[in-house]
A and B are shown apart, each in its own frame.
Chain A
């Protein structure tokens, strides 16, 4: 079981959260001409690194907020969590 520290609620079990994927993927700007390659990268292409990975989780059975989590994809160790508006470095 992973334990994720929600920035709003504190340390909670993984079962309260649902996963939202890579948090570093940026949606192309709206109201601009977007090349199809940019859409391709945004929708489909993923680095999926082995090691540190910044990802989105939603505290679905808690405060329902989306949060950012920095986690090691090989060891499952969680280094940092942050509000979705904050940056993880």
Chain B
């Protein structure tokens, strides 16, 4: 594989950039693989990469209905954080932060990981207390957390509304300085390029139509490009998990909902990190291009449409305007939607299933992007070793029936609220 560097860039400039190698091949599916990963999003590509790199399993195929990185890894708001209170979520995502920090070097692809910090704003004394508790929990798990008072927040985001008339005055906030953003597409492409180089077949425009399960054991999958035998199959299709689960006669603790995001026209550097509003559901960061990247609530009803409705955008931006009045002067460039696996406790599922050789990676709600590396890493371990790793030992499917929920937000089973 051609190594990307400043020298290869200069060399290729002499041939007008016409002679770059293709980053990944377009193979025809073989009749049999050791492992088939369904879903060529960030998590699927990362899983294939870590299967090859960490477990030396290289006879692997990624089956993708559309094109790689065309789903939620290409639709998210690129936020990376590990500011969780529960131990299981905190340890899992902090391990992921370590993977992020070295990802560009490891993949030889600039994923533009930029640890510029995230501030969760508090608008009442009670919220400050809750954040102090969460911050302490984070620090006990070795995650950096800083409780900011009003003046400290004002120094960091002076453009927020600090006047006396606001309905939800800013009391302070909880900051994770090591959180940040990354270039989402580059994550998918970087993993794809390395996985392809290690022998993984990336098969695009190939839809899974069924599964061959014999005596409770997976034998292969049926696709729009023919049957493929597989010793092990991993499902990595957040957003479409329920559709494939139905083909397997499985019912999961997941509802599928649409989440929208939007960006404004690009402006000069204004906002350094990520900021979330504590009195409504709204979060914002500024991309390297200068666009304000914003998101918030789900549309609030089951949906498989990768687009949403205007009332939700209006509602989210009403919260945004309450926090940052300057937004009223910006034009919106575009809005889009992605479909989410909303699990019943807001935490993901990475586990084996009752079918031998079938593994499940789903339920990411709208926080899947930040976990891309650690999700792939633990899912690869679960598939290769046929057992869960310590890191995903609490992210299991049976936690709903045993009562060991990871309800980080304490919202219960109303997924459309969370």
Contacts and interface: CB of A to CB of B under 8 A. Distances in A.
B31 interface: no
Contacts, number: 71
Contact of A44 (B253, B256, B304): B253
Interface of B: 242-243, 246, 251-256, 300-305, 309-311, 344, 400-401, 413-414, 416
B310 A1 contact: yes
A53 B301 CA distance: 10
Q: Which secondary structure dominates where chain B touches chain A?
A: mixed
B304 A41 contact: no
Interface in A42-75: 43-50, 53, 55, 71, 73-75
Contact of B304 (A19, A22, A47, A50): A50
A55 B301 CA distance: 9
Interface of A: 1-2, 13-15, 18-19, 21-22, 36-37, 40-41, 43-50, 53, 55, 71, 73-76
Given A14-B309, A43-B413, A48 B302 contact: yes
A22 B251 CA distance: 14
A74 B309 CA distance: 13
Contacts of B310: 1
Contacts of B311: 1, 13-15
Max chain B Cβ within 10 angstroms of own Cβ: one of A18, A48, A50, A76: A48
Contacts of A36: 401
Contacts of A47: 242, 246, 251
A52 to B, nearest CB: 11
Given A2-B309, A18-B300, A48-B254, 18 more contacts: A14-B311, A21-B255, A21-B302, A22-B255, A37-B401, A44-B400, A45-B251, A45-B252, A46-B253, A46-B254, A46-B255, A47-B251, A50-B243, A53-B302, A55-B301, A73-B256, A73-B303, A76-B305
A76 to B, nearest CB: 6
B304 A73 contact: yes
10 tightest A-B contacts by CB?
A44-B253, A48-B242, A44-B400, A50-B304, A45-B251, A40-B401, A74-B304, A48-B255, A44-B344, A19-B301
A57 to B, nearest CB: 8
Contacts of A44: 253, 344, 400-401, 413
A22 B254 CA distance: 12
Contacts of B255: 21-22, 46, 48
Contacts of A49: 242, 246
B259 to A, nearest CB: 14
A74 B243 CA distance: 12
A15 B299 CA distance: 11
A73 B301 CA distance: 8
B300 A19 contact: yes
Contacts of B254: 46, 48
A14 to B, nearest CB: 6
B127 to A, nearest CB: 24
A5 to B, nearest CB: 16
A50 B413 CA distance: 20
5 contacts: A2-B309, A19-B300, A37-B401, A50-B256, A76-B309
Contact of B251 (A18, A41, A53, A76): A41
A50 B401 contact: no
Contacts of B416: 19, 21
